[in-house]
Structure 1
C-alpha cells in the first residue's frame, strides 16, 4: 500500500520500484493536473512488517559517527607522524610505528 498524506490518498504498487509512479498518478488524477507536473518524495516506513525507516535512521547515524571517528583518527595519526618526524625519527621508522608506508608518512607530515 502506498499512502500519499498530502491528499490523504491510498494506492497500490506491486514493487517498490513502482511506488513513485503510482503516487504521481494518484496525485495527478486527484488534483486534475498532468502527471509530468507532479513530483513526489518517497519514504519507506515499513516493509513486510519490518520498520525499515527506524533501522535506516540508526544506520545513517552510525555511519555519520564512524565517519567522524575516522576523521579524528586520521587527524591524530597525522599529528603523531609530525611529532615523531619532528623529533628526528626516520620516516621509514615512523611508517613502521604507524603501520603505513614511508611515502604515506611523508604525505601525513606535509598536511
Structure 2
C-alpha cells in the first residue's frame, strides 16, 4: 500500500493541498477537509479506491507562526509544572498547619480555599 505525502500551505483564504507523487494540487476550505480533498484528488488521478489510501500530511506554516506555536507550547508546559508545584506546596502547607492544630476552616481561610478543599489537601 502506497502512502501519499501531502503538503498543506495557507493561501489567501484556503488551504493548498499538494500531492507531489501525482504532481497535482487542490484546495480545502479548512483543515478538516484536507484528507477528503487529497484522497479524492488521488482517486481521480490514479483510480485507487479512496478507502485504501493512506496519507502523510504535513501542514507548513510560516516560521514566525511556528516560533509562536513552539513558545506557546513551552509556556503551557511551564504553567503546568508551576501548577503542579503550587499544588504540592499547598498540600504541604495544609498538612503542616493541620499538624500544628489549626482547624480546617482556618486553613481554608489562610490558603484562600474552601473548607472542603482544605480537608482534601490535609488528607491527600
Structure 2 contact 98–107 (Cα < 8 Å) conserved? yes
CA distance in 2, matches of 1:51, 1:34: 38
Query: Would the alpha carbon gap of residues 70 and 4 (structure 1) be closer, same or farther in structure 2, given more than 3 Å must change?
Result: farther
Structure 1 residue 62 and structure 2 residue 86: aligned? no
**1:81 shift after superposition:** 0.5
Report the RMSD for the aligned CA atoms in angstroms: 2.6
Deviation per CA, 1:47-71: give whole Å up to 9, x if none. xx68544433332232222112111
Choose the corresponding residue for 2:55, options 20, 24, 40: 40
**Structure 1: which 5+ residue stretches go unaligned?**
none
Higher relative contact order (CA 8 A, sep 6+): 2
Paired residue total:
108
TM-score, normalised via structure 2 length = 0.69
Q: Which residue of 2 aligns with 1:25?
A: 40
Q: Which residue of 2 aligns with 1:71?
A: 84
**Structure 2: which 5+ residue stretches go unaligned?**
1-15
